[in-house]
Amino acid sequence: MKKVIIFSVVLILATSAVVTSQPFSATIILYPGCGSQFAYGQKVCGELSLSDDAWVTRWVEDLNGTIWYHWGTRYYTAGTHSLCGYMGLPIGVHIMKIHAVRVSDGALADSQCEYTVCCGYSVFIPHKPTCSCEKVVFTASVDKTQATPGDYITVIVTVSNNMAPECTKKIDAGHLQIDWGILGGNTSPLEKDTGVSPGETRTVLEEKHLIPPVPEGVYNVVISYSDSECTWVDYTSISVKLETAGSLEIVSYPEVVNVDEDAGIKLLVRNQSQKQANFTLSVKAPPKIHVPVTEYAINLPQAGYQEVNVRFTPEEVGTYVITVDLMSGGASMGTVSISVKVEKPLSGQMEVVYKPETVLVNESALIIMRVVNPGQYDTVYQIGAAGLDVQIPTIPELFVPGQQSREGEIFITPLKEGVHEVVFRLEAEGQLMDSKQISFTAKKETRISFLIPVIIGGLAVVAAAYLILRKRHP
């Protein structure tokens, strides 16, 4: 049985290793095949094939490495995907390239397809031998290159006609396409034909577009135009930035802390952004509060959160305010202030050293109490006493150094006969440290008690006289 289990585990691990090490492939081809020659303006289709889900960037270069067309980075599932387009400038060798990144593990794959665009009939506009599409400059731009989801941007398409005076170029409605990719798909916003005269530069389109909720990154927008005469493609880039938002909450903190006691403030940092974000937590405290760590670097995923325990140690009695700031990218995300009262760690104990069992009414009796200070700080203690029908003078304060003890004398006077109880309270700075209760009996002194010695003495004298007289007169 044990061997079967071990074999199964080994098999699972081996299978896992095979899965994670599988090769990743990505290819691009244009029909009828790479190396073919196409006419300018000719419609051509091809295929993009992937062995796994991947992010794919596709563009076209010339032999000098100059990029002429760019379709940005798109997400594709594993399999074969068709693509079509029109052959554009420049005349000569084109190289279509792809760079693929596998979603599962970041594995890379590259592929390219080389072909030639030749002197097709549409390089020169039919029936206008002096008019060449190469003399027309087709450009696209955006009013701002950085935006956040929810912002509007405007794509501006401009055509400059540098052809001969008789060569007016008409831009047909419906032939101009904008490929927004995941920013909004394909659109054909040109609503009417627009003519561009020779020597004229004209904006043929201003298209306003809402940036949807997308991940942060750089996106390419491809603008293309193709008709029976000319084919142009241009692209522009938009950097989408997601605003960083975060919050800072107090989970718990001590309202009262003793001097030299290690304490903590528990805080909760939340990432309220639509992206991963970096935060900095800064702690500011007065000089009498020691904070070992004053800055915390926090990296949180989208909608993530993290608890932070800010440690501190007070060094002196008082009330202090500790301030904590949450920052990201130089902007404040929130501030909290915590007020902490710092006290001495007081303690004390009281012991009865001596107390009388019986006391005469209206006579003062002595009680001796010992006060023990187990703490490290010198402390002044107050002893309070209360009892029914017992008179107790004010008891002086008792100074006791740290980790020492002192004895105090307390005088009490019962005012009535009977059993009395007296409660003693030991306090320091208004805090109760200890309490003790004693009991004793109070008796009233009677007159007969004073006559007894006199009577005994008188009887002794009479007895002595009687014995003397008896000896004289037998």
Average pLDDT over residues 348-366: 94
**What's the pLDDT at 462?**
59
For 14, what's the count of Cα atoms within 13 Å in the CB-facing half-sphere? 6
Gap between the Cα atoms of 22 and 371, Å rounded = 80
CATH code for the domain defined by 124-242: 2.60.40.3880
What are the tokens at 303?
């909608």
DSSP, res 91: S
In whole angstroms, how large is the CA radius of gyration of the chain? Answer: 50
What are the tokens at 438?
């004693």
Instruction: Please report, to the nearest 10 degrees, the dihedral formed by the alpha carbons of residues 273, 276, 282, 283 taken in order.
Output: 80
Give the contacts of 363 (CB within 8 A, at least 6 positions apart): 413, 414
For the chain, percent of residues with pLDDT exceeding 90: 63
Confidence of residue 15 (pLDDT cuts 50, 70, 90): very low
Which amino acid would we find at residue 178? I
Gap between the Cα atoms of 186 and 8, Å rounded = 51
What is the number of other CB atoms lying within 10 angstroms of the CB of residue 114? 15
- The reply to whether domains 246-343 and 349-443 share a CATH topology is yes
Lowest mean pLDDT among 17-26, 302-311, 421-430, 455-464: 455-464
Displacement of CA 187 from its chain's centroid (Å):
41
Average pLDDT over residues 5-12: 40
Q: What's 23-123's CATH class?
A: mainly beta
Give the contacts of 175 (CB within 8 A, at least 6 positions apart): 188, 190, 225, 226, 227
pLDDT, the chain, mean = 87
Give the contacts of 58 (CB within 8 A, at least 6 positions apart): 28, 48, 70, 71, 72, 74, 96, 97, 98
Comparison of pLDDT for 316 and 21, the residue scoring more: 316
* pTM metric for this prediction: 0.52
CB 420 within 8 A of CB 438: no
Does 1 have pLDDT greater than 50?
no
CATH 2.60.40.10 fits 246-343, yes or no: yes
Tell me the pLDDT tens digit for each residue of 437-452: 999 999 987 655 445 5
Average pLDDT over residues 9-37: 71
Tell me the pLDDT tens digit for each residue of 206-265: 999 999 988 888 888 889 898 888 888 888 889 998 888 999 999 999 999 999 899 999
Cα 457 to Cα 422, 445, 461, 463: the distances in Å are 41, 21, 6, 10
What are the tokens at 121?
């009939």
Gap between the Cα atoms of 259 and 344, Å rounded = 5
What are the tokens at 250?
């107090």
Gap between the Cα atoms of 396 and 421, Å rounded = 21
**What's the pLDDT at 461?**
63
Which amino acid would we find at residue 460? A
Gap between the Cα atoms of 37 and 117, Å rounded = 6
**What's the pLDDT at 190?**
92
Q: Is the peptide bond before 90 cis (omega within 30 degrees of 0)?
A: yes
Give the three-state DSSP class for 318: strand
DSSP, res 394: P
Domains in the chain: boundaries: 23-123, 124-242, 246-343, 349-443
Cα 4 to Cα 9, 10, 11, 18: the distances in Å are 9, 10, 10, 21
CATH 2.60.40.10 fits 349-443, yes or no: yes
Sign of the Cα torsion 402, 408, 414, 419 reads positive
Bridge partner residues of 246 (DSSP): 271
DSSP, res 135: G
CB 65 within 8 A of CB 115: no
Give the contacts of 373 (CB within 8 A, at least 6 positions apart): 347, 348, 379, 381, 400, 401, 402, 403, 404, 405
How, if at all, do strands 37-39 and 108-118 pair?
A: parallel
